[in-house]
Amino acid sequence: MTVDFEIDENLAFVRDYVRAFARDTLRPLAREADEKGKLPTETIKQLGTFAGNRASIMPEENKGNGEKRSSIAAMMAVIGSEELAWGDPAVVLNIPGPGLAAPSIRAAGTPEQQKRFLDDIFNVDSGEPRFGALAVTEPQAGSDVSNVQTTAVQDGDEWVLNGTKMYCTNGARAEIVVVNATVDKSLGRQGQKFFVIEKGAPGFKVGKIEKKMGLTASETAELILDDCRIPFDNILGGAEALEPKGSGFKGTMKAFDSSRPSVAAMALGIGRAAFEYARDWVSSELPMNTSFPRKAAIEQKLGRMKRELDAARGLVWQAAWMADNKIPNSKEASMAKAYAPPAGLRACIGAIQIMGPEGYSKEHLVEKWFRDIKVYDIFEGTGQIQRVVISRKILGRLD
């Protein structure tokens, strides 16, 4: 298999466009958003303008119209994700759009569902910012997604859902939330399906808003489904999802094969931000009379940070390239997700160590990036779960 990492002019344009936005808009908002724990509504609306511009340059398939996937959609996603997170990962999560609802809807939804649920979210000209969300984690089912207790029971032309979801990004303000629930416990994992809950659905309640160590400007909500009623057609995949070979646990989990490289790319972006900040600090602030052993140690640390981040990018791009070329990439997506967040975390730790007390100070952003990046090794499947997926794919035991 030959992997082509050539950046064509389209990808280069997207990278440069997003990089400029991250530098000029996101980075200046980072500290205030972190301290206040939120962004003003007007600022979110301004971010919506970017979302509209971004949607206009996205491949058509990414807009939810069900047409053939562009050959650079996944590469565009990971390149853009890295640059946005380099600007600020928490502010990024306030950019209006379908968020993590999109991969599940694209992976398992019918063409009609893709158009119905995603087109409206991308319509930023509607005035108010609009968000989508994915709710999978439960109090007793975190990384083990197959252990979810939320149930879905058909009642005429509706589904009735009961359960509790946790740590849902943008869950309280989302127009649509994709949730997984079990329709038949006797079927095990195959009895698990994905559903779209629309804002205002009867029995859909928002619980507490989490207070977190990092990504403080990002809303993370508890969602309660108390006899929540949704239309029958809101099961992803439609009626065919209920057939024996319909989109069950394995089918819908393939959505993570496209989202995990993007999450890994965000971790890479945070680590790159810390590396570049420390590198520039050394160039401008390190005293000229610094001892040779300390200079050598700093050089070695910077070199190691750079090597690991570049290696992470290779894994991320490989997983994205395979997705764009319709090559199964579960193992590669998990490899990227397992490697990039720890590499980014080590870069953040290294930056603090290089800068010493200044790195620990809130006068610099490296301490914030250190707090932000840890969760990237947790959500979308922990590093431990990724290593299980990798080993089982190597041994041919994932099924």
- Closest by CA to 145, choosing from 345, 368, 395, 380, is 380
First and final C-alpha spacing in the chain: 24
Cα 369 to Cα 347: distance, rounded to the nearest angstrom: 10
341 Cβ partners below 8 Å, 6+ apart? 264, 267, 373, 376, 377, 383
Residue length of the chain: 399
Percent of residues in the chain assigned helix, strand, coil, to nearest 5? 60, 15, 25
Cα 229 to Cα 200: distance, rounded to the nearest angstrom: 10
Cα 57 to Cα 51: distance, rounded to the nearest angstrom: 10
State the catalytic residues: 380
Tokens for 297?
A: 């140690």
- Closest by CA to 46, choosing from 34, 59, 29, 65, is 29
User: What is the three-class DSSP state of 122?
Assistant: helix
Q: CA-CA-CA-CA torsion for 277, 278, 284, 289, nearest 10 degrees?
A: 180
| Phi and psi at residue 59, to the nearest 5° | -60, 150
What sign results for the dihedral spanned by CA atoms 63, 67, 70, 71? positive
User: What is the three-class DSSP state of 250?
Assistant: helix
Cα 256 to Cα 219: distance, rounded to the nearest angstrom: 21
Report DSSP state, residue 95: S
CA 357 to centroid of chain Cα atoms: 32
Task: Write down the residue that tokens 């994700």 correspond to.
Answer: 81
Beta bridge partner(s), residue 154:
159
| Identity of the residue numbered 360 | Y
Cα 386 to Cα 22: distance, rounded to the nearest angstrom: 29
Cα 166 to Cα 47: distance, rounded to the nearest angstrom: 26
